[in-house]
């Protein structure tokens, strides 16, 4: 209950809209483009290693070999001991991530920023439309986009 003077203006009530749906994307990319893109169905979460490992095994088992330099943020599913042991098992070199410097994570400054701008203001009728748009956007990027993103790591 709100107390107000009789001559006070009428309080406006705002129309509540459903918030935008969010999905989680697992994206592996290098200087030549997207290597693996797996978008989790709405409402699913990544728990430690399960979804990450399943995406690699199901979509790109060729990634399970030595020679990869891997960088991720310090999110719990990525830094979990189970995940770290799995990465070591395949000999992936982990590029250190400074928690205090988000500019070091290439997907934050180079990949997901432009993707978020592209998706901003769009409305999707179905979940498949929502999932399909990032896939379409990645497919139409020029290869220089990826090359510039990877090689800019040297200066960062």
Model confidence, pTM: 0.70
Q: What is the pLDDT of residues 25-66, one digit of tens each?
A: 888 888 899 988 888 777 777 766 777 788 888 888 888 777
Kind of pairing, strands 25-30 and 33-39? antiparallel
Over 60: is that where the pLDDT of 120 sits?
Answer: yes
User: Could you list the residue range(s) of the whole structural domain that residue 140 is in?
Assistant: 25-151
Q: How far is CA 25 from CA 9, 12, 16, 51, 127, in A?
A: 47, 38, 28, 11, 13
Confirm whether 77 is domain-assigned. Answer: yes
Q: Which residues contact 152 (CB under 8 A, 6 or more apart)?
A: 106, 110
The CATH number given to whatever domain includes residue 132 is: 3.30.420.10
Confirm whether 12 is domain-assigned. Answer: no
Closest CA to 74 of 49, 99, 56: 99
Q: What is the pLDDT of residues 123-140, one digit of tens each?
A: 888 878 888 888 899 999
Cβ atoms of 104 and 97 within 8 Å: the answer is yes
Closest CA to 49 of 89, 74, 68, 76: 76
Q: What is the pLDDT of residues 83-119, one digit of tens each?
A: 888 888 888 888 776 665 555 565 567 888 888 889 8
DSSP 100: T
Domains of the chain: total: 1
């Amino acid at each position: 209950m709100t107390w107000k003077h009789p001559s006070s203006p009428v309080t406006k009530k705002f129309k509540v809209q459903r918030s935008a749906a969010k999905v989680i994307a697992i994206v592996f990319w290098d200087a030549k483009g997207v290597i693996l893109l797996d978008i989790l169905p709405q409402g699913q979460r990544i728990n430690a290693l399960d979804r990450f490992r399943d995406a690699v095994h199901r979509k790109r088992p060729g990634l399970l070999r030595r020679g990869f330099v891997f960088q991720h943020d310090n999110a719990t599913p990525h830094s979990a001991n189970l995940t770290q042991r799995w990465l070591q098992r395949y000999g992936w070199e982990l590029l250190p991530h400074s928690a205090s410097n988000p500019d070091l994570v290439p997907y934050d400054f180079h990949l997901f920023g432009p993707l978020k701008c592209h998706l901003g203001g769009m409305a999707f009728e179905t979940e498949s439309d929502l999932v399909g748009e990032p896939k379409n956007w990645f497919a139409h990027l020029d290869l220089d986009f990826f090359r510039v993103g990877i090689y800019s790591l040297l200066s960062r």
